[in-house]
Structure 1
């Protein structure tokens, strides 16, 4: 599997599809960036809104997107399994169209704040984007293309920050609206996930989808091999097959013999209860997602401005924000190029260590002020770059590739819910703790979490680079890495 080559035409089609699907996080970047460069206008007496925003309303405008995302995320698993990957992805683009469409014609303050919260419902669709991309991409490029959900978010931040510096309020809104509509139109050009089509019993359509993404004939051997892989993933006896993987004859017999009678679909909870590998995969993803969020990157995204004002008082906040977005984006793009070469575990482990080192440097600088002011900015940019080189992207790649199809929607919803929760917890406790112990000590704490994350990754996390989900499940059972898919 790791040695298989992908055709250039298939690479181009899968890349185009992944980039189009990942544009949902580009739209999310617009929503997160927009308040930062509109607040000056919103708080002034010459505001474009019906009246200036109060301090409480400003705080709400900056955080309400997280509430929308957290509320809607638990429904993602149900929606993606009912509507399919393609139509679910399109559905989660609609909140952005509605939000910018109404904002372009209203000046009502509560309505504008409510719409930004409603856009958070679209942000929750990132879980669906990861599933969709992970199911249509070849194993050899799956990590890089799944990570586009992260790099597109930062591209959205950068693009929106730049627009805010050169266009008028309404021009920015119209650009956001146009690109939101374009996202939905782009998805109409691509096929549904073959895994979902097989799950609902549409084998012929699944073959056509595989042929579309692999750029081969529907009757080719490659299509038959992919269908065999998907059938194995969907086999209700998958846990028996995985458990007997060390006994080739028994495993092959289970694969070749059809299930007795027509298996009734099990509830997600029952499936999770009987599947040891799925439980371990879910625990691993929750741990990785929680630890990487608690490393403190979200704090620098939200509270970088006062730190930059101290470090580089001669530069405007908008310019610093643009440079920070560029820093994030470059790191995410470099990460995408490295994921399928060095692997998830390697990048997560070493970037967690690097992030911890920069947190220590930043903590000592804020605590002892031993370096010049510009060193504070250097530490912020350095931390953000190293963090997004691996720790900021790997959790989203793992959520797309470690779960069996039966619980893939549920697993992604749970992991994304933990992302929203940990974001909220980190931001809520930050200011009280900063007042109580100081910023420097707080970043010492973030460094400890970074080193714990590196240790967990090195000891507990299996390497999933270039592997199919059946092999990944074996790794979570502590078994050897070998495919159990029958040859076509």
Structure 2
């Protein structure tokens, strides 16, 4: 019993330390929400350059996701997270002291490289160190830290924005806070173990067994070592993962599903609220200072919803949970569009919009987001996990980039109501995709999932199947 408690304690430490990458992800994407109104005055931003500043991080994240996936395959998950911590720190300081828009965009892009790399590497690391029965909760702890980082950003924005409203450089203080968790992540990961699955893939079986014995019972460690070695041996019959592997039907199907899951999360419009929530509330009728305070509700409900979502992942299946979440987000967006028309100019409108954004985020962060990141970490076999996660999360961030870039322009050109009607239509498309294509993954080990996807290729001709092994 004492040994099991020690192993659980060490697993908890791994979760806390590594998910500081998620905290930084959340803070750096959320802080722009409150910093942008003040930054616009100092740097002279318009609707287009506001979109460029906000979305430059997202473009960097798209590249960071695909490069980070490959680097984590090459150098290891742990070492990659350590380098990402350094990049988080450098990017934060560069943004904090940026004298103009050009420098700000450059360092926001660099910060995005770190965010994208973390969005791929941290969930992969957690999935590979966690036992099958706890994988859902462990991987979604990262999602909790992401929304926790956003809540921290919204709270710091509100406090600093109200206390230092007359200071034109208040946004610099908002940005600088992110340097502290970057230091903690760097120091903490120096003491964390490497992923045992990655070690086995590199032939370092003794090191992998040592790690497994720290986080499993002795018997479980040996069983898992043998199981993963078998999977690696099977995968070694194929050449090193590359884009050429997309010619293999079952791998192509997994990558298609990964891209679909990633894009579904973004076309809900969630990050229009997370990046521009203060602006949305201002457009609906709140003053800037009041909007900053009201926006904390968005962050708070996100944290509560993710906690509920983590609990639900252990109780219900992934696919129906995702469908319920998408139905809730799409309905909320539809109602925002309707009431923005019906109550235009009314004193009630800002409170109605705030209530609906909170409802939207309850469904989004309580169902859609946890399932998205968990399934992305689950569906890819070990040999192509870095490549598959990289491609999928690249597409996630590219979708995010276009939403971040165009949202201020949409608000300016077509208004709040019509903008949310557009997201409603995209939500319907997301529901159709999930219902039509997404399989269930709950209750299966990573190796069982790989076997399931491989067996899907049985419907292809014998010739195609033989080509798949070569």
Same fold by TM-score greater than 0.5: yes
| Shift in alpha-carbon separation, 1:175–1:461, aligned structure 2, 3 A | same
| Pairing of 1:171-186 with structure 2 (within 5 A) | 175-186=177-188
Pick from 106, 116, 122: which aligns with 1:114?
Answer: 106
Q: Deviations over 1:437-465 (max 9, x none)?
A: 65434434433433443343334322212
Match in the other structure for 1:418: 395
Corresponding position of 1:401: 378
Q: Please, which of 203, 206, 209 is the counterpart of residue 204 of structure 1?
A: 206
Seen in structure 2, the aligned counterparts of structure 1 residues 131 and 94 have a Cα distance that, compared at 3 Å, is same
For residues 9 and 343 of structure 1, the distance between their equivalents in structure 2, rounded to whole angstroms, comes to 30
Map 1:40-55 → 2, pairs under 5 A: 40-44=37-41, 52-55=43-46
Post-superposition offset of 1:313: 2.4
Match of 1:147 in 2: 140
Write out per-residue CA displacement over residues 373-399 of structure 1, whole angstroms, 9 at most, x where no aligned residue. 222221111111112111123221111
Determine helix, strand or coil for the equivalent of 2:367: coil
1:2-35 residue CA offsets vs partner (Å, 9 max, x unmatched): xxxx944433322321232121121122322333
Which whole-Å CA distance do the structure 2 matches of 1:278 and 1:264 have between them?
12
- Which of 420, 431, 447 aligns to 2:424? It is 447
- When normalised by structure 1's length, the TM-score is 0.81
Note if 1:382 corresponds to 2:355. Answer: no
**Number of residue-to-residue matches in the alignment:** 439
After TM superposition, give the deviation of residue 352 of structure 1 in Å. Answer: 1.0
Q: Decide which of 302, 307, 317 is 2:280's aligned counterpart.
A: 307
The question of 1:364 aligning with 2:357 is answered: no
The verdict on how the C-alpha distance between 1:433 and 1:106 changes in structure 2, with shifts beyond 3 A counting, is closer
Shift in Å at residue 422 of structure 1? Answer: 1.0
Q: Residue 79 of structure 2 aligns to a residue in which SS?
A: helix
Q: After superposition, where does 1:258-277 map in structure 2 within 5 Å? A: 265-274=239-248, 276-277=249-250
Provide the residue aligned with 2:448 in structure 1: 471
Deviation of residue 473 (structure 1)?
2.8
- Note the 1:318-333 alignment, pairs <5 A: 318-333=292-307
Q: Which residue of 2 aligns with 1:164?
A: 157
| Whole-angstrom distance in 1 between the partners of 2:388 and 2:290 | 42
Deviations 1:404-450 (CA, angstroms, capped at 9, x unpaired): 11100000101111111111233455466667765434434433433
| Structure 1 partner of 2:62 | 70
Indicate the residue corresponding to 1:15 in structure 2.
12
Larger deviation, residues 115-124 vs 16-25: 16-25
CA RMSD of aligned residues (A): 2.9
**Cα drift, residue 64 of structure 1:** 1.6
Partner of 1:132: helix, strand, or coil? helix
How far apart are 1:358 and its partner, in Å?
Answer: 1.6
Residue 143 of structure 1: CA displacement? Answer: 1.5
**Equivalents in 2 of 1:171, 1:297: separation in Å?**
26
Cα deviations across residues 317-364 of structure 1 (Å, max 9, x unaligned)? 210222211122221222122112213212101111122222222222
Tell me, what secondary structure is at the counterpart of 1:341?
Answer: coil
TM-aligned CA distance change 1:355 to 1:187, over 3 Å: same
Query: What is the match of residue 229 of structure 2?
Result: 231
Tell me if structure 1 keeps the 8 A contact 2:158–2:296.
no
* Cα displacement string for residues 199-222 of structure 1 (whole angstroms, at most 9, x for unaligned residues): 1110000101111122x3xxx321
- Once the two structures are TM-superposed, the CA of residue 54 in structure 1 deviates from its matched residue by 3.8
Cα deviation for residue 104 of structure 1 reads 6.0
Q: Is the 8 A contact 2:32 2:275 kept in 1?
A: no
Whether the 8 Å CA contact 1:312–1:377 is kept in 2: the answer is no
Contact 2:95 2:175 in 1 (8 A): yes
Using a 3 Å threshold, how does the CA distance of structure 1 residues 230 and 104 change in structure 2: closer, same or farther?
A: same
2:256 aligned to 267, 277, 283, which one? 283
Quote the residue 2:72 is aligned against: 80
Counterpart position of 2:85: 93
Pair 1:35 & 2:32 matched: yes
- The 3 A distance-change label for structure 1 pair 109 and 178 is same
Aligned to 1:341: 315
Distance 1:85 1:478 in 2: 29
- Structure with the greater alpha carbon radius of gyration: 1
Equivalent residue in structure 2 for 1:292, among 252, 259, 265: 265
Say if 1:267 and 1:454 are closer, same or farther in 2 by CA, change over 3 A. Answer: closer
Q: Secondary structure at the match of 1:389?
A: helix
| Structure 2 residue aligned with 1:485 | none
Aligned equivalent of 2:438, options 461, 467, 480: 461
Structure 1 distance, partners of 2:61, 2:7, is: 33
Structure 1 alignment gaps of length 5 or more: 1-5, 239-261, 480-488
- How far apart, in 2, do the equivalents of 1:289 and 1:476 lie? 19
Structure 1 residues 77 and 147: CA distance shift in structure 2, 3 A: same
CA distance in 1, matches of 2:323, 2:70: 33
